[in-house]
Amino acid sequence: MKKDIQIPEVSNVFMAIVKEYNEEFQCDDWNAYIINNKITDIDTVLIVSKGYDEDKLIETAVLRHKIDKLPANSFAKVELLQPEVLQLTNFFNVTYFENSQMFDKKFVFEKGRIKESSLRTISYLKKKGFTDS
C-alpha cells in the first residue's frame, strides 16, 4: 500500500533564512521565509520547524505554521529565529497542494552553516541569507 502512494518531487519552492534589519526594534533579525518561485499558486502550505543538535542532545519545540494560499512568484515570512537557534541544525518540513496534488519536502540547514561571514544575496528576496537548494 505504501508503495502505491506517490508524492511528486518539489521544484521551485524554497526555504530561506535571511538576516534583515528590524526598524521597530532597531536591530538585526534572522527570519525564515518560504519562496514560491512557481507560475502557479500553492495552497494549504503547512510548515513544521524544529532545531536540534544530536551531539549535545538539545532540541527546540516544534513549531507549526499554515499559509492558506501562497501566490505564484511570491514569498512569505514564516518565523523569527533566535540567534541561539542558529547554532543548531534547523529543519523545515513543507507540505502543500498544487492543482489538488500534495507535495512534501524537508529543508535542512546544518548547524554552523548559518553565520554572517557566509551570507549571500538571495536574488528573489533582494536580501542576504541562505537557501537550502
CA distance 22 to 85: 18
**Other CB atoms within 10 A of residue 65 CB:** 17
Smallest CA-to-CA distance from 20 within 77, 89, 85 is with: 77
For residue range 42-54, what is the model confidence (pLDDT) as tens digits? 999 999 999 999 8
What local confidence, expressed as pLDDT, does residue 6 receive? 73
Residue 114 predicted with pLDDT over 80: no
Q: What is the mean pLDDT of the chain?
A: 90
The one-character DSSP state at 86 is: G
What local confidence, expressed as pLDDT, does residue 83 receive? 86
Rounded mean pLDDT, 1-13: 78
